[in-house]
Amino acid sequence: MTIFEKIAARQIPAEIVHEEDDLLAFRDVNPQAPVHVLIVPKRCIPRIGEAVASDADILGRLMLAVGTVAAKLGVKDTGFRVAINHGRDAGESVPHLHIHLLAGRPLEWPPG
Residue boundaries of the structural domains of the chain: 3-103
Task: State pLDDT tens for residues 64-90.
Answer: 999 999 999 999 999 999 999 999 999
Whether the per-residue pLDDT at 112 is higher than 90: the answer is no
The set of catalytic residues is 98
Q: What pLDDT band is residue 12 in, cutting at 50, 70 and 90?
A: very high
**What SS3 string covers the chain?**
CCHHHHHHCCCCCCCEEEEECCEEEEECCCCCCCEEEEEEECCCCCCHHHCCHHHHHHHHHHHHHHHHHHHHCCCCCCCEEEECCCCHHHCCCCCCCCEEEEECCCCCCCCC
pTM of the model: 0.95
Which pLDDT value is given to residue 30? 95
Tell the CATH superfamily of the 3-103 domain.
HIT-like (3.30.428.10)
Task: State pLDDT tens for residues 44-68.
Answer: 999 999 999 999 999 999 999 999 9
Whether the per-residue pLDDT at 111 is higher than 90: the answer is no
